[in-house]
């Protein structure tokens, strides 16, 4: 490609990016809440991290998806009894919010979390995956269950998590 055409392509791409950033409000420093996402509607902005009760939230997800495995057979290291409230979904929620610090109001972020479990996005280290008070680290079992779910089941899980955090709390 001759140099003038390369320069033209670069300039047109740069102008397109600048226009997109302007639409997002990145170049509007005089407005309150300005910045890359300052002018977007409230539901389109990342939700602030807040304290949630993963067991109660997981129960809401299991109400929507009663066939989803509980994976609550692990033993509590504190009591020596079965930790029945420590479920697969409660651990996914804890990983998503407290380990990865991802927003809860975007389906894409929940998909990224499930992709972590599938080994398709970020690697989950067993050392960094908390055992959540269990004698045995549940990471291997959790990965196995997520991998055994069909794509449709994973999509329903993502939608249920999104709904519990976004629609139910709006």
pLDDT in single tens digits along all 170 residues of the chain: 555 555 556 565 555 555 554 544 444 444 444 444 444 455 555 555 457 899 999 999 999 999 999 999 999 999 999 999 999 999 999 999 999 999 999 999 999 999 999 999 999 999 888 788 899 999 999 999 999 999 999 999 999 999 999 986 66
What is the C-alpha to C-alpha distance for residues 106 and 167, in angstroms, rounded to an integer?
11
117 closest CA partner among 85, 157, 84: 157
Structure confidence at residue 123 (pLDDT): 95
pLDDT attached to residue 105: 94
Q: DSSP E strands: which ranges in 6-59?
A: none
Collapsing DSSP to helix, strand or coil, 62 comes out as: helix
pLDDT at 84: 95
Q: How far apart are CA 71 and CA 95, in angstroms?
A: 15
**pTM for this prediction:** 0.72
Q: Provide the pLDDT for residue 167.
A: 82
């Amino acid at each position: 490609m001759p140099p003038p055409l390369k320069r033209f392509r670069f300039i047109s791409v740069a102008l397109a990016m600048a226009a997109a950033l302007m639409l997002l409000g990145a170049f509007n420093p005089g407005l309150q809440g300005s910045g890359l996402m300052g002018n977007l509607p409230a539901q389109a902005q990342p939700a602030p991290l807040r304290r949630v009760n993963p067991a109660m939230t997981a129960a809401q997800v299991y109400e929507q998806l009663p066939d989803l495995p509980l994976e609550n057979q692990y033993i509590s290291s504190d009591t020596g009894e079965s930790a029945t409230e420590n479920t697969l979904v409660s651990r996914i929620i804890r990983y998503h919010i407290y380990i990865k610090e991802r927003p809860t109001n975007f389906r894409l972020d929940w998909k990224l979390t499930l992709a972590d479990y599938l080994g398709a996005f970020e690697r989950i280290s067993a050392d960094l995956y908390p055992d959540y008070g269990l004698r045995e680290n549940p990471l291997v079992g959790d990965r196995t269950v997520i991998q055994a779910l069909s794509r449709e089941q994973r999509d329903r899980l993502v939608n249920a998590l999104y709904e519990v955090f976004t629609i139910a709390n709006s």
